[in-house]
Amino acid sequence: MEERKITVENNSIHIPDRPIIPYIEGDGIGPEIMRAAMMVWNSAVSCAYAGKRKVTWKEIYAGEKAIKIFGDPLPEETIEAIRSHVVSIKSPLTTPVGRGYRSLNVKLRQILDLYACIRPVKWIKGVPAPVKHPELLDVVIFRENTEDVYAGIEWKKGSQEAKKVIAFLKDTFNLEIRNDSGLGLKPISEFATKRITRKAIQYALENGRKNITIVHKGNIMKYTEGAFMEWAYEVAMNEFKDKVILEEELNESISEKLIIKDRIADNMFQQILLEPSEYDIILLPNLNGDYLSDAAAAQVGGIGLVSGANVGDFIALFEPTHGTAPQLAGKGIANPTSLILSGAMMFDYIGWKEVGSIIRKAVEKTIMDEKMTVDLAKKKGVEPLKTTEFAEEIVKNIEE
């Protein structure tokens, strides 16, 4: 069985039986959770296909390990490997706060044009959650990944640039801004908004989802977030007219079409708590998507249990939703669930849905049996497992 790259031909992804998939170990707890996740992924593939299909893993480098090897936290070889292999997966990477290099996660998304951050949020049975009915929440968040604050431009308070911009706004538009202000711009374009809307609608239709909610702060920021809402509606009604229906057009009967609705961002934080079952696919600009995805994850037990992906037209980079947790690194106690489930999401993406299903069922059974890492175990009052021990329990449930 020949090892081959995943390719894109005739506008579709082609998956060989033995694909080469690059991975990045990551920083902090990254190497520990990656080793644990690999055990689970390989076991699930073996269980599903009995040797007829197999992943060849190819390590590539970013973050602290890349600095040691290449003197560069994000070498060109890594970027090219992700691009040429189409599908990759990574552990979290360190982003220095207020110093050093800018976020490698953001840089990868921008360089590779991975414009959709996709995060399914669904409760795993047995996980202790802070709400009474976490099972009511089952959403997939589509967050625009390249604009808004990710493409933001800032000027420091008192800098020559800030002074020039303040003077320009006063002289040209008669706008008064305090001289001791820091300034920022956040671009939101029609192009980027419409393409992520298309991806969200296509996902909803392909996966039998019932509604899409456009979340924005358009009542205040009319020409950025308000425009995001308007452009999203345009895509829905112009490009998917026969398959969608607006919320206000609904009558008493249940529609078989995909319902399109919108909510103001601050109200949405209330709605997702009060009426979680009313929401399905949630489409947002970058910053609101960042906030809401973490808030939604909290309802089902935390971001350590939620999978994630950064997806472009074809290239996809899967990753856990949490950070590097350096305070836990080297202790063997980190929870690898987010990365494991990101792998399940990756297998769904390449069409190996049997593998994704096996992984999710085994993770759930393991947690239902009260086999869990310390972050969950202390809430349940049970004996915690080490990172590797938890992965081994999942593998046992796969092999049974």
Query: Percentage helix, strand, coil, to 5, in the chain?
Result: 45, 20, 35
Is 103 annotated as ligand-binding? yes
Which distant-in-sequence residues (6+ apart) come within 8 Å of 172 by Cβ?
Answer: none
- For residue 84, what are the β-bridge partners? none
Catalytic residue list contains 210: no
Is 143 annotated as ligand-binding? yes
User: Cα separation of 256 and 253, whole Å?
Assistant: 9
User: Cα separation of 279 and 380, whole Å?
Assistant: 29
| Active-site residue, from 23, 115, 150, 349 | 150
User: Which DSSP symbol is given to 23?
Assistant: E
Is 335 annotated as ligand-binding? yes
Catalytic residue list contains 371: no
Of 311, 362, 308, 334, the closest CA to residue 41 belongs to 362
CB 235 within 8 A of CB 243: no
| Active-site residue, from 217, 262, 280, 348 | 217
Neighbouring C-beta atoms of residue 273, cutoff 10 Å: 14
**How many angstroms separate the first and last alpha carbons of the chain?**
27
User: Cα separation of 225 and 171, whole Å?
Assistant: 26
Catalytic residue list contains 115: no
User: Cα separation of 20 and 25, whole Å?
Assistant: 16
Is 119 annotated as ligand-binding? yes
Is 94 annotated as ligand-binding? yes
Is 378 annotated as ligand-binding? yes
Q: Coil, helix or strand for 387?
A: helix
Catalytic residue list contains 217: yes
| Active-site residue, from 27, 148, 262, 290 | 290
Neighbouring C-beta atoms of residue 343, cutoff 10 Å: 28
Is 397 annotated as ligand-binding? no
| Active-site residue, from 52, 156, 223, 266 | 266
CB 94 within 8 A of CB 63: yes
3-state per-residue secondary structure call for 204-245 = HHHCCCCEEEEEECCCCCCCCHHHHHHHHHHHHHHHCCCCEE
State the residue for tokens 């669930």: 337
Which residues are catalytic, by number? Answer: 150, 217, 266, 290
Binding residues for D-threo-isocitrate: 103, 105, 109, 119, 143
Binding residues for NADP(+): 94, 335, 378
Binding residues: 94, 103, 105, 109, 119, 143, 290, 335, 378
Binding residues for Mg(2+): 290
